[in-house]
Chains A and B, each alone.
Chain A
Amino acid sequence: MLKIHQLHKSYPIGDSSLHVLKGIDLNVEDGEMVAIMGSSGSGKSTLLNIIGMLDEADSGDYILDGLPIKNLTEKKAAVYRNKFLGFIFQSFNLINYKNALENVALPLYYQGMKRKERQEKALFHLGKVGLTDWAKHLPKELSGGQKQRVAIARALAANPKLLLADEPTGALDSATSHEIMAFIQQLNDEGKTILMVTHEEDIANMCKRIVRLKDGVIMEDEKVNQVRAQEHV
Chain B
Amino acid sequence: MFDIDLWREIFQSINKNRTRSLLSGFTVAFAILLFTILFGIANGLQNTFAEAFVDDANNAIFINSGRTTKAHKGNQVGRQIQFKNEDFDYVKDEFDEKIEFITARIYKNFQASFRGEQNVYDVRAVHPDHQFLEKTKIKEGRYINQNDLNNKTKVVVIGRLVEDDLFLKTTALGKYLNLGGIQFKVVGIFTDDGGDNEERKIYIPVSTAQYLYGNNDYLDQINLTYNPELNYDQALAFSTLITKKLKNRFSVARSDQRAIRVRNMAEGTKAVSQMTVGLTFIILVIGFGTLIAGIVGISNIMIFIVKERTKEIGIRKALGASPKSIVSIILIESIIITAIAGYVGLLIGVGVLELVGPSLKEYFIKDPGVGNGLVIGATLTLIIAGAIAGYIPAKKASQIKPIIALRND
> A residues engaging B (CB < 8 A)?
49, 52, 54-56, 74-75, 78-79, 81-83, 87, 89, 91, 93-95, 97-98, 102, 106-107, 109-111, 115, 154, 158
Interface flag for B231 (CB, 8 Å): no
Find B317's partner among A81, A102, A115 (CB 8 Å cutoff).
A81
**CA A55 – CA B9 in complex, angstroms?**
27
Q: Are A74 and B398 closer than 8 Å at their CB atoms?
A: yes
Interface flag for B12 (CB, 8 Å): yes
Q: Which of A79, A97, A158 has the most CB of B within 10 A?
A: A97
Q: How many CB-defined contacts (below 8 Å) exist between A and B?
A: 71
Q: Are B320 and A79 closer than 8 Å at their CB atoms?
A: yes
Which residues from chain B contact A102 at a C-beta distance below 8 Å?
A: 12
Q: Which of A102, A109, A115 has the most CB of B within 10 A?
A: A109
Q: Are A158 and B323 closer than 8 Å at their CB atoms?
A: no
Interface flag for B254 (CB, 8 Å): no
Per-position binary interface string of chain B over residues 377-409, scored 1 when its CB falls under 8 Å from any chain A CB and 0 otherwise: 000000000000000000000110111001001
Q: Are A78 and B403 closer than 8 Å at their CB atoms?
A: no
**CA A82 – CA B315 in complex, angstroms?**
12
Find B320's partner among A49, A95, A97, A107 (CB 8 Å cutoff).
A107
Q: Are B317 and A97 closer than 8 Å at their CB atoms?
A: no
Q: Are B9 and A75 closer than 8 Å at their CB atoms?
A: no
Q: Are B319 and A49 closer than 8 Å at their CB atoms?
A: no
Residue of A nearest to B309 (CB): A95
**CA A92 – CA B190 in complex, angstroms?**
80
Which residues from chain B contact A87 at a C-beta distance below 8 Å?
A: 318-319
Interface flag for B249 (CB, 8 Å): no
**CA A29 – CA B132 in complex, angstroms?**
99
**CA A111 – CA B319 in complex, angstroms?**
9
With known contacts A54-B403, A55-B401, A115-B5, A95–B315 Cβ distance under 8 A: yes
Which residues from chain A contact B324 at a C-beta distance below 8 Å?
A: 75
Interfacial residues of chain B within 2-16, with CB under 8 A of chain A in the complex: 4-5, 8-9, 12-13, 16
Which residues from chain B contact A158 at a C-beta distance below 8 Å?
A: 319-320
Interface flag for B56 (CB, 8 Å): no
Which residues from chain B contact A91 at a C-beta distance below 8 Å?
A: 409
Q: Are A109 and B401 closer than 8 Å at their CB atoms?
A: no
Q: Are B17 and A109 closer than 8 Å at their CB atoms?
A: no
Q: Are A93 and B321 closer than 8 Å at their CB atoms?
A: no
Find B16's partner among A74, A81, A82, A97 (CB 8 Å cutoff).
A97
Which residues from chain A contact B401 at a C-beta distance below 8 Å?
A: 54-56
Interface flag for B359 (CB, 8 Å): no
Report the minimal beta-carbon distance from B325 to chain A, rounded to whole angstroms: 7
Interface flag for B100 (CB, 8 Å): no
Which residues from chain B contact A81 at a C-beta distance below 8 Å?
A: 317-320, 402
Q: Are A74 and B323 closer than 8 Å at their CB atoms?
A: yes
Interface flag for B312 (CB, 8 Å): yes
